[in-house]
Amino acid sequence: MTRPHPVGLLDSATHTWLTRHVLPGALVHKVAPLSGGFTNDMALLTVVRPDEVGAERYVLRHRRPCGSRFPRNSCAVEIAVLSRAAARSVPVSAVVAADPQGHVTGRPTLLYRFVEGVPLSKVLAEGPDSGEAQVLGRAIGRVLARIGRVRLPRPGVFADSSLVPDPDSGDTLGDLPGFVERCLATGASDGTLSGTDSDMLRALAHRGPLALAAVAGERRLVHGDFNPKNVLVQRRAGQWAVAAVLDWELAFSGSPLFDVGNMLRFAHEYPPDFTTGFVDGFQGGNGRLPADWLRLSRTLDLFALADILTAPPDHAYFARVRAVLRRSAAS
């Protein structure tokens, strides 16, 4: 059993791993919690070395057990995905060290280099003007096009760090009506999702076979959670640019339209020029959008909506996602 370490959030085993093996001789000066969602405990570490001037910053991520309906990539798979993405000039946070099985720290653990930047979600919430919104959208679209340039052997969920998808993994992201029914059957017991909302979700899911048929066979890298909270941006020479795309544990092989739907889930809350710039940037980066891309991407995003709406809710986020569901049903 590990004991809390005096430096705040670090337990003794993790502190020993860091200071003896990963960053030998370093002193952990400060530990600050970071938002890690429902599946990770994350912390920002400030580290100093006695023989050097200045400090270094890292992000430590401990994985928690998770009952997600989507397969989570192992630490080894995530490291391989990051390497493939970086080779296509996708900005990512470099992995410094890993304890993939948690043999030393007690839980699967990754240590990343800290990347300076502001979450895109924060910038959009502050209401950028139309020009800035378009520049932001264009930068995000170009990066998504680069992600989609990573070609894989076949569609599906990654079996291991070779990034060869499991040939039997099609059931998870191949049957939208079935996935929605499983979510509803195993959903949160508090009854937050009404019967009417459940019927809307089922009705929309019946578009699934047509949408999935349109993208069948696509085998490009999909981030799987490509939304504004997982994109860091920063100003460079007075212009917005993407600093890093974070959190690749849901990545798989499929159609980039999954990521398009995710990024534009709340497009009605953003300046319209953000969407215009996003589409321009994606297509300008050689990303392919079929004529009915908006309908297809919204349909594919129902996988995520069904999971969110039937999970123990973050009430504010649940309300936003339910509003998206109702907008889709109305249109």
Tens of pLDDT along the chain (331 residues) come to: 334 344 456 899 999 999 999 999 889 989 999 876 667 889 999 999 877 777 999 999 998 877 678 888 999 999 999 999 999 999 999 999 999 999 999 999 999 999 999 999 999 999 999 999 999 999 999 999 999 999 999 999 999 999 999 887 655 677 899 999 999 998 876 668 889 999 999 999 998 888 889 998 999 999 999 999 999 999 988 889 999 999 999 999 999 999 999 999 999 999 999 999 999 999 999 999 999 999 999 999 999 999 999 987 788 899 999 999 999 998 8
**134 and 266 part of one domain:** yes
* 5, part of any domain: no
Q: What is the pLDDT of residue 225?
A: 95
Task: Pinpoint the alpha helices (H) of 186-314.
Answer: 195-205, 208-215, 257-263, 272-284, 293-300, 302-309
**156 and 298 part of one domain:** yes
Domain edge (last residue) among 53, 80, 113:
113
d(CA 88, CA 76): 19
* 2, part of any domain: no
**56 and 175 part of one domain:** no
Please measure the distance between the N-terminal and C-terminal CA atoms of the chain and give it in whole angstroms. Answer: 54
**176 and 89 part of one domain:** no
**167 and 30 part of one domain:** no
Residue 230 is given by DSSP the state: G
List all residues 6 or more positions away from 24 whose beta carbon is below 8 Å from its beta carbon. none
At 84, the amino acid letter reads R
Could you give the C-alpha distances from 218 to 78, 154, 195, 229, 250, in angstroms and in order? 21, 8, 35, 26, 17
**318 and 224 part of one domain:** yes
**62 and 132 part of one domain:** no
If residue 110 lies in a helix (H) or strand (E), which one and from where to where? Answer: strand 109-113
* 3, part of any domain: no
**208 and 136 part of one domain:** yes
Q: Provide the β-strand partners of residue 222.
A: 252
Domain edge (last residue) among 93, 113, 133:
113
Residue 22 is given by DSSP the state: I
* 312, part of any domain: yes
At 162, the amino acid letter reads S
Residue 55 is given by DSSP the state: E
The domain total for the chain is 2
d(CA 8, CA 30): 8
Antiparallel, parallel or unpaired: β 40-48 and 27-34: antiparallel
Q: What is the pLDDT of residue 7?
A: 47
Q: What is the pLDDT of residue 6?
A: 42
Q: What is the pLDDT of residue 170?
A: 58
* 299, part of any domain: yes
Domain edge (last residue) among 83, 113, 143:
113
Q: What is the pLDDT of residue 174?
A: 77
| Torsion (CA) 291, 295, 301, 305 in degrees, nearest 10 | 170
**131 and 90 part of one domain:** no
Q: What is the pLDDT of residue 122?
A: 95
d(CA 284, CA 280): 6
* 1, part of any domain: no
Q: What is the CATH number of the domain that holds 17?
A: 3.30.200.20
Is residue 146 classed exposed, middle or buried when 0-12, 13-18 and 19+ CB atoms within 10 A define those classes? buried
* 304, part of any domain: yes
d(CA 104, CA 8): 19
Q: What is the pLDDT of residue 71?
A: 83
**67 and 206 part of one domain:** no
* 4, part of any domain: no
Q: What is the CATH number of the domain that holds 184?
A: 3.90.1200.10
Domain assignment of residue 22, given as a range: 12-113
- Sheet of 95-99: strand order equals 27-34, 40-48, 55-63, 109-113, 95-99
| Torsion (CA) 68, 70, 74, 78 in degrees, nearest 10 | -120
**91 and 122 part of one domain:** no
**181 and 299 part of one domain:** yes
pTM for this model (two decimals): 0.93
